[in-house]
Amino acid sequence: MRLSTLIRIGGAAVILAGVLRAASSFATGGSEVERQALYFIVDLLLLLGAFAAYAQNHEAVGRWGAAGFLTTVAGILAVRSSRQVPGLDLYPAGALSVASGWVLLSFAWWRAAKGPAFVPVLFAVSIVTGLVGQIVSGASLSAASGVIFGAAAAGAGRQIVLGVSSGSRNTAGRMDP
């Protein structure tokens, strides 16, 4: 299978993750199991997208991009293990890590002139919105933060897919099964 095919799948995955994350901001009802299943799917798709973004641009994004990629992966692992550590809520730190990692990765990607400027800006705005919502009493901004994050993720996925279509240098290799 060609690496470009895997990267294209990762790009589509992060687009879907963005749409699902934005939509989940407005989802009401449903059982806890259903919500957790949705969040697991979003996190899995975000993880696939992070791998695709880094694989496609690893040469161009340098150390900052690598740091962003690793921060995103660590954040997703923290979010997913949040309920497994009794007495310790890892979700807030994990969510901040995921968003911060995407900021670093997409900013390095933009700086290398391979990505759109609005993606790191939207990821950063989603962090600020989420933090303000946590700090300011009465400010329920989690839905807004989720929608902004979802838009940023969809934008990143779109850029990944467009990068593969334009024949990005890093995607020409072939992976043998």
Burial environment of residue 64 by CB neighbours within 10 A (0 to 12, 13 to 18, 19 or more): middle
**Is residue 151 assigned to a domain?**
yes
pLDDT for 167: 60
pLDDT for 26: 85
**Is residue 10 assigned to a domain?**
yes
When divided into structural domains, the chain yields a total of 1
Model confidence, pTM: 0.86
**Helical H segments across the chain, by residue range:** 3-24, 32-80, 91-111, 118-135, 142-165
Q: Which domain holds residue 60?
A: 3-167
**Is residue 67 assigned to a domain?**
yes
Q: What is the mean pLDDT of residues 120-145?
A: 89
More confident residue, 165 or 64: 64
CA dihedral of 18, 7, 121, 96, whole degrees rounded to 10:
70
**Is residue 11 assigned to a domain?**
yes
Q: Sorting pLDDT into bands at 50, 70 and 90, what band is 175? A: very low
**Is residue 176 assigned to a domain?**
no
pLDDT for 136: 85
User: Please, which residues have CB within 8 angstroms of residue 170's CB and are 6 or more apart in sequence?
Assistant: 3, 55, 56, 57, 58, 59, 60
pLDDT at 171 over 50: no
**Is residue 62 assigned to a domain?**
yes
pLDDT tens-digit readout, 10-59:
999 999 999 999 999 888 778 888 888 999 999 999 999 999 999 998 99
**Is residue 150 assigned to a domain?**
yes
**Is residue 126 assigned to a domain?**
yes
User: Please, which residues have CB within 8 angstroms of residue 28's CB and are 6 or more apart in sequence?
Assistant: none
Specify the 3-state DSSP secondary structure of 141: coil
Q: What is the mean pLDDT of residues 138-163?
A: 91
